[in-house]
Amino acid sequence: MGRLFGTDGVRGVAGRDLDARLAMRVAAAAALVLGSGGPRYSGLGYGGGDVAEALAGKRRPLAVVGRDPRASGEFLEAAVVAGLAGCGVDVLRLGVIPTPGVAYLTDLLRADFGVMLSASHNPAPDNGIKFFARGGVKLADEVEDAIEAKMAEQAEAGDAWGVPAAGFGRVKDAEGEAELYLAHLLSTVGVPADADTARPLTGWRIVVDCAHGAAYQLAPRLLSLAGADVIAIGVDPDGININSGCGSTSLAALRDAVVRHGADAGIAYDGDADRCLAVSAAGEVIDGDQILAILALALNESGRLAGGTVVATVMANLGFRRAMTEVGIDLVETPVGDRYLIAAMLDGKYVLGGEQSGHIIMLDHASTGDGMLTSVQLLATAAASGRSLAELAQVMTRYPQVLVNVHGVDKAKAAGSGELTSAVEAAQAELGDSGRVLVRPSGTEPAVRVMVEAVDSGQAREVADRLAAVVRDAG
């Protein structure tokens, strides 16, 4: 059996790759690995504690658990909560809430760890389990390995956990804690949630597409409280329509609504709202690279871009790289995945990073990528500048970029192919300085991703298709 954890937690088709038994076992192992934590929130009737008490079994650890609206999230949440409580962890059930909301509340409520049930931008049949360590940070590889090792150890013992020293965990519904997350987001643009004050988005009409996902309740309220006239779509989740023809993976509905309603801009989130993309008044797509460039320039101009540096992944568009160079902003490059962005940002003490898909991390305000935070910061930046999103996005030229996902191949075999290595080298030599080639195995899907950039879109497509054929032959 391969490694259980992928790029972003444990993910698969619900009921097949990820069933209730596996969810319970993963949760129980995580409880045993992550649950011996420090002082925690004591405001919900559980009492406080410290590390010594936890290790002595005198107090129970605390976990917060959230989910997106997928139908499978209901039974998987029940399984996760059972695994946690059965191993002596108190649980606050946050209900339907964006992934970054779970991260924020893990920190704010001083929980020992947080759990989110979501498959992010994937279709409804998929689901996943994401963990946050104390402070709301994603787990390091070695911690995930420890959880997998604990699962194997428990399986050998027959998955019998026994009675925890401090007793079984208690479970409490805590959907109202999402208001604390909303108030935090508003505070980042100077809006106290309970005060009559100037609103940065006053005069702006915004269409927001929530992908029938985790942000369907909070995101329209956020932008409205920030002063915008909000038109909300993708806000009727039924458990199976998440990310279906809507949200950040399918922008046609948003683009149409922005133009039809004469809006100033549009915002689209994915299923768990840890990313967002934008649309201009004319319906033009503004991707994560452009959003990152806009925010980087704004922070740099105000002296708040730590180290004059922005962090991006290897997928960042060539136009983004050149734009940053032109304004004197340094670029640190990481593998794909917001966990790698965050690691580099923490290591270099940088405050801004992101990727083309719309994962933007602003460490001054959040411990992980946050689509709702990104959207309100982006729109407030535009409103303060007196310029439209389209004007701000002109800071960079987006080079044609072709991405081909090659499914049905052995990722490891393809990665080790000498023929593929030679083909990539030849393609890069063909493109020279005016293009770029990247071939990598997906961390979230059984596929190999082939990305080619070039000044000419036709050349990019031809090279990408050629390399995809080599991948198929190699795998």
| Residues with active-site annotation | 120
Considering just the CA atoms, what is the radius of gyration of the chain in Å? 22
Q: How far apart are CA 378 and CA 292, in angstroms?
A: 9
| Residues whose CB falls within 8 Å of the CB of residue 248, separated by 6 or more in sequence, listed in order | 121, 209, 211, 268, 269, 270, 275, 276, 277, 357, 358, 371
Secondary structure of the chain in HEC code, one letter for each residue: CCCCCECCEEEEEECCCECHHHHHHHHHHHHHHHCCCCCCCCCCCCCCCCHHHHHCCCCCCEEEEEECCCCHHHHHHHHHHHHHHHCCCEEEEEEECCHHHHHHHHHHCCCCEEEEECCCCCCCCEEEEEEEECCCEECCHHHHHHHHHHHHHHHHCCCCCCCCCCCCCCEEECHHHHHHHHHHHHHCCCCCCCCCCCCCCCCCEEEEECCCCCCCCHHHHHHHHCCCEEEEECCCCCCCCCCCCCHHHCCHHHHHHHHHCCCCEEEEECCCCCCEEEEECCCCEECHHHHHHHHHHHHHHCCCCHHHEEEEECCCCHHHHHHHHHCCCEEEEECCCHHHHHHHHHHHCCCEEECCCCCEEECCCCCCCCHHHHHHHHHHHHHHHCCCHHHHHCCCCCCCEEEEEEECCCHHHHHCCHHHHHHHHHHHHHHHHHEEEEEEECCCCCEEEEEEEECCHHHHHHHHHHHHHHHHHHC
